[in-house]
Chains A and B, each alone.
Chain A
Amino acid sequence: MALKFYDKLKHSIRYWLLRRLPTCQQTVEKISQSMERSLSLRERINLKLHLWICAWCQWYLEHLHLIRETARAKAGDAPDFVSGGGLSNEARERIRRRLTNQN
């Protein structure tokens, strides 16, 4: 009984907040900006409250950070995934000729 009441309360708080806070569309833009600059206090509160009740935006934030972390870790490494694999023979020869002329 008490549990059911608690669930109902949670539900209504969530809906009440969702109707008053910025939408997911606006929040997602703020999430992106939070990675570029420090947000104002009001923006931060709105964002925190939104993330508190919206798992989707919470995941969105985690994913952006995962992408950033992964990409930065790859920056110094050999990017082996590029299609083609390397210099084409034609380009290689062109560069070689240019370099020998220079020497």
Chain B
Amino acid sequence: MDSHARFAQARYRNLDRFLCSLVRLLPASGYTTLLVQEVQIDMNVPQGNFPHESPDPGRWLDDHGDYLFKYAVFRLRDNTAAEDAVQETFLAALKAYKEFQGRASERTWLVGILKHKIIDHFRRADREAPLGEESDDGPEHREFFERPGPWQGHWNTNYAPNEWHATPAELIERNDFWKVFDDCLSPLPQRTASAFTLREVDGLKSEEICEILSIKVNNLWVMLHRARLHLRNCLELNWFTREE
């Protein structure tokens, strides 16, 4: 590849990033997607040597269906919603096939679409939620800090943290750890668990999550705090102290 082509490619990579941030900022709508497609066609993206001339959704489903489903289920915590998100992703991928020129791997591209579909789902779920109802942010776990006498409010020794001997690198490899992780999140209210995954797994900013779930930032902090308190204790009981 000559230097000119490399430069052109790098430029389009930046454009991609810019467009992605644009889409994240604007409220998700068909219009934004349309806009992005138009801009990309406008910019005359170079035609890559792409192996498949026409889209093959059947093969997509075989190759990436399970992966996308697992990706969605971990975040949405709901099988039906995850199936819908996967279906919508494939449909959107069919429509937007022109925009994908084999620059990224097929899976990365599909996951990118799926991310938006998942966020759309959170927005929708929030709009459909009954208004005026006192929302549940998760268990407060006051018992963790119940102590008789002057030390009320400090750790109760039954629940106090222990030392963990683990590094992220070794935990990532353990599938059974992620099973425990998932089980520990399930007793939390849906919204709290969603906020937690968006923040800690996907690394979205607080403001972005507030906008997606349409909640106040103080409310988000309370939700995250309760999720962390619960998850940390649950992981310690079911994983870190169990192993020894």
- Shortest distance between the CB of B82 and any CB in chain A (Å): 9
- Which residues of B sit under 8 angstroms from A80, Cβ to Cβ? 70, 175, 178
A73 touches B168 (CB 8 A): yes
Q: Does B26 contact A (CB under 8 A)?
A: no
Count of chain B residues with a beta carbon within 8 Å of a chain A beta carbon: 59
Kindly identify which residue among A32, A56, A94 contacts B225, using a CB–CB cutoff of 8 Å: A32
| Chain B residues within 8 Å of A69, by CB | 168
Instruction: Please tell me if the beta carbons of B73 and A75 are within 8 angstroms of each other in the complex.
Output: no
Taking a contact as CB atoms closer than 8 A, the residue among B57, B66, B145, B168 that contacts A99 in the complex is: B57
The answer to whether B201 touches A33, judged by C-beta atoms less than 8 angstroms apart, is no
Q: A70-B171, A87-B69, A98-B87 are in contact. Are A24 and B153 (CB under 8 A)?
A: yes
In the bound complex, how far is the Cα of B178 from the Cα of A45, in angstroms?
36
Q: A41 near B: Cβ within 8 Å?
A: no
- B interface SS class: helix
A1 adjacent to chain B (CB < 8 Å) = no
Q: CB within 8 A of B61: which of A28, A37, A92?
A: A92
- Give the distance in Å from the alpha carbon of A43 to the alpha carbon of B163 in the complex: 25
Which size class do A's interface residues fall under? 35 or more
The residue on B at minimum CB distance from A86 is B66
- Shortest Cβ distance from B181 into A: residue: A81
Q: Is the C-beta of B148 less than 8 angstroms from some C-beta in chain A?
A: no
User: Which listed residue (A25, A67, A83, A87) contacts B200, Cβ 8 A?
Assistant: A67
Which residue from A26, A35, A75, A103 sits with its C-beta under 8 Å from B94?
Answer: A103
B168 and A36 contact, CB distance less than 8 A: no
Once bound together, how far apart are the Cα atoms of A77 and B89, in whole Å?
A: 19
Contact present for B179 and A83 (CB under 8 Å): yes
Question: Judging by beta carbons under 8 Å apart, are A59 and B150 in contact?
Answer: no
Instruction: For B145, give its contact among A23, A87, A98 (CB under 8 Å).
Output: A23
- Separation in Å of the B143 CB from the closest CB of chain A? 11
Do A25 and B161 touch (CB < 8 A)? no
B71 on interface, CB distance cutoff 8 Å: yes
**In whole angstroms, how far apart are the Cα atoms of A73 and B58 in the complex?**
31
Partner of B202, one of A28, A73, A75, A81: A75
Contact yes or no, B94 A64, CB < 8 A: no
Residue B154 CB within 8 A of the other chain: yes
What does the 1/0 interface line of B82-101 toward A look like (CB < 8 Å)?
A: 01001100110010000000
Residues of A within 8 A of B (CB): 18-19, 23-26, 28-29, 32-33, 35-37, 56-57, 59-60, 62-64, 66-75, 77-88, 91-92, 94-96, 98-100, 102-103
Some 29 contacts from A to B, beta carbons below 8 A apart, are A35-B224, A56-B160, A57-B161, A59-B161, A59-B162, A59-B164, A63-B161, A63-B235, A68-B200, A72-B201, A72-B203, A79-B71, A80-B178, A81-B74, A81-B176, A81-B181, A83-B182, A86-B66, A87-B83, A87-B86, A88-B79, A92-B65, A94-B83, A95-B86, A96-B57, A98-B87, A99-B90, A100-B57, A102-B91
